[in-house]
Amino acid sequence: MTASAAAPVLEAVGVGYTYAGRTPTVALEGLGLEVRDNEFVALLGPVGCGKTTLLRIFAGFLRPATGTVRCAGSDIDGPGWQRGYVLQEVAIFPWMTVRENLEFGLLAKGLAPSERRAVSDELLGLIGLSAFEAAYPKELSAGMSKMVEVSRVLATDPSLLLLDEPFGALDAQTRARMQDALARLWEHRRKTVLFVTHDAEEALYLADRIVVLSERPGRVRDEFAVDIPRPRSFETRFSARFLELKRLVWEATGARGAPST
C-alpha cells in the first residue's frame, strides 16, 4: 500500500444497496473502501458483482441503502463535476464536435470561450487528437471516443475520476493501446482514480492498488498493492513481478475454482 497519511479522497463505509423488484437483488452489502489522494485504484470483480452499482453510488446517481459515502470529506449528494464519471456505455455526445465534447463541462462551469479553448487545446494534444478537433464522434474509433470521454471528464479538473470499464468493449490490441494512452494521461495529470474492470491484467498495468470484489452481494474480498514502478511499458506486462501478481490476483478472484467466500 502507498504510504499516504492524507485523509481519503473517497470513502465508503458499510455500503449496501438492494434493487427493488419482485425478487429484490442485493447488489452490495457492508462494503468498505478508501481511495487516497492521487491513488489509482482498480476495482476488480466478476460480472454482476455490483461494481457499476458502487460506481453509480459514488457518482451520485444512486443513494446507498445503508452506510455512508463521502468524497473529499463531505457526503455525496447527487451528481457533480467534482467526481468525474465515465460511464460504461458510449456517452460521447454525437451531436457535438470533439472539441465541443471536451469543453462541455467547462461550459457548464461558466468558463469563457478563451479559457475553455486553452483547456481543450491541451487535452487534444495529450490524446493526440488535435487534427480531429472539429470532427464529429462518428468519425472516431471506439477507443478514441472513449479517450475523449475520459479527457472530457478531466477537463473540469475533478478531485476524483470514476471510470467504469472504459475499455471493456474493445479488442485486446486497441485495449492495450488505450491503457497506454490512459497511463500517459494520468502521469501528466495526476488524479485520484477509481477504475472498474473485470480484467486482472488491465488492473495490474494501470493501478497502484487492486481491490477485489466478491460475487453478489459485492463486498471487498482482497486487496493488492501493485509495487511495479512507473512508467510502465509493454515489457512490464511480461516482467516477473507482473506475472507473479497476476497469479495472486487471479487466484483471489476465484478463477481457479476455489470455493467462494
Q: For binding to other proteins (CB under 8 A), which residues are involved?
A: 59-61, 79-81, 83-85, 87, 89-91, 93-96, 104-105, 107-109, 136-138, 149, 152-153, 156
For the bound state, the minimum distance from the C-beta of residue 83 to other proteins, rounded and expressed in Å, comes to 7
For the bound state, the minimum distance from the C-beta of residue 218 to other proteins, rounded and expressed in Å, comes to 21
For the bound state, the minimum distance from the C-beta of residue 103 to other proteins, rounded and expressed in Å, comes to 10
For the bound state, the minimum distance from the C-beta of residue 148 to other proteins, rounded and expressed in Å, comes to 12
Nearest to other proteins of 160, 245 (CB atom): 160
Nearest to other proteins of 35, 102 (CB atom): 102
Question: How far is it, in rounded angstroms, from Cα 24 to Cα 133?
Answer: 46
Nearest to other proteins of 150, 204 (CB atom): 150
For the bound state, the minimum distance from the C-beta of residue 232 to other proteins, rounded and expressed in Å, comes to 28
Cα maximum dimension of the chain: 58
Angle made by CA atoms 24, 59, 208, in degrees to the nearest 5: 105
For the bound state, the minimum distance from the C-beta of residue 97 to other proteins, rounded and expressed in Å, comes to 8
Nearest to other proteins of 76, 204 (CB atom): 76
Nearest to other proteins of 60, 218 (CB atom): 60
CA distances from 165 to 31, 88, 96, 126 (A): 20, 6, 23, 21
Nearest to other proteins of 192, 253 (CB atom): 192
Nearest to other proteins of 152, 232 (CB atom): 152
For the bound state, the minimum distance from the C-beta of residue 194 to other proteins, rounded and expressed in Å, comes to 14
Handedness of CA 107, 166, 12, 192 (dihedral sign): negative
